[in-house]
Amino acid sequence: MSTYVVGDLQGCYKPLKKLLKKVKFSESKDKLWCVGDLVNRGPDSLETLRFLHDMADSIELVLGNHDLHLIAIHAGCAPAKSKDTLDYLLNAMDCQHLCDWLRTQPLAHYESLDTKAGVTDFLMVHAGVAPHWTLQKTLDLSAEVQYALLDTEYKAFLRHMYGNTPDRWHDQLEGLDRLRVITNYLTRVRFCDEIGTMQLTVKEGLGAAPQGFKPWFEYETMTPETTILFGHWAALEGYTGKKHVHALDTGYVWGRELTLMRLEDQQLYSISS
């Protein structure tokens, strides 16, 4: 049995199938983790979601910003954007069912696995975490958003989800502002400062850090015993410079590669666009 984690799929169903075939993935024996952004930008968001839904017993996934955006559009809580490629999915007869399934998924997933290095703790998020969050705090705050998505009043959260403020976490945050900040860290952050203030408009690579800001993973976010897996930041091209922090979005939808990592030995597999 092997556990694989794949970078942002963004509706690229056929490349995912090819990559799983390349590693001889067995749905009955192996596990697939997905770092979020399952849909949008690519051509086959509906087929991607159907495929993952049908193998739900063999996968673990976290929601990305594009997945939340799909849920919000379908719920009538946000307009589509000009670059979205979600029309075919939104018009599908099973879109409601698929969106309801996505609403049950977390923004952070934690699991300990037996690896070649011994038992290793893995945390998977789509984008990142705040500098001062512990592992347990990250999981607890993720759960707050997951509960909000499952609540009968979930549309209130979706309507308030968009925006860049408040721009940092503090424990006194309440209500919808609290949920927005948690969501922005877990699904959108790239750069922040040492107290966790997020800079959410810069999307380029490491050299584009605004003055006073660094990539979120440059701070002592968690102990090195926790290996962090994330996507979202294609401009990194898979590089973080941190042994225990792995960037899996290598930009297939932008003409580069789709990357899969086997967690037991951190072996990388990829296919080019």
pLDDT in tens, 78-125: 999 999 999 999 999 999 999 999 999 999 999 999 999 899 999 999
> What per-residue confidence (pLDDT) applies to 220?
73
> What per-residue confidence (pLDDT) applies to 25?
97
Closest CA to 25 of 265, 261, 272: 261
Closest CA to 64 of 229, 243, 264, 272: 229
Cα 248 from Cα 230, distance rounded (Å):
6
pTM, rounded to two decimals: 0.97
Closest CA to 37 of 245, 270, 234, 271: 234
Alpha helix (H) residue ranges in 133-272: 135-150, 154-160, 175-187
Cα 133 from Cα 155, distance rounded (Å):
27
CA atoms within 13 A on the CB side of 42: 28
User: For the residues of 74-131, what is the DSSP string, one character each?
Assistant: HTTSSPPPTT---HHHHTSTTHHHHHHHHTTS-SEEEEEEEETTEEEEEEEESS---T
| Overall average pLDDT of the 178-185 stretch | 98
Q: Is the pLDDT of residue 223 over 70?
A: no
The listed CATH number (3.40.50.1390, 3.60.21.10, 2.60.40.10, 3.30.200.20) that belongs to domain 3-272 = 3.60.21.10
57-66, 154-163, 207-216, 218-227: the lowest-pLDDT one: 218-227
Q: Is the pLDDT of residue 184 over 70?
A: yes
Q: Token pair of 150, please? A: 């499952």
256 close to 249: Cβ distance less than 8 angstroms: no
Placement of tokens 């790239």 in the chain: 190
Pairwise pLDDT comparison (50 vs 221), residue with the higher score: 50
Domain edges within the chain: 3-272
| Overall average pLDDT of the 128-135 stretch | 92
- Mean pLDDT over the full length of the chain: 96
User: pLDDT digit string (tens) for 233-245?
Assistant: 999 999 999 999 9
- Whats the size of the chain, residue-wise? 273
Q: Is the pLDDT of residue 181 over 80?
A: yes
Residue 67 backbone class (left: φ over 0; alpha: ψ -120 to 50; beta: rest): alpha
> What per-residue confidence (pLDDT) applies to 225?
78
pLDDT above 70 as % of the chain: 99
Task: Write down the number of H helices and E strands in the chain.
Answer: 8, 12
> What per-residue confidence (pLDDT) applies to 221?
64
51-55, 84-88, 128-132, 265-269: the lowest-pLDDT one: 128-132
pLDDT above 90 as % of the chain: 95
Q: Is 251 helix (H, G, I), strand (E, B) or coil?
A: strand
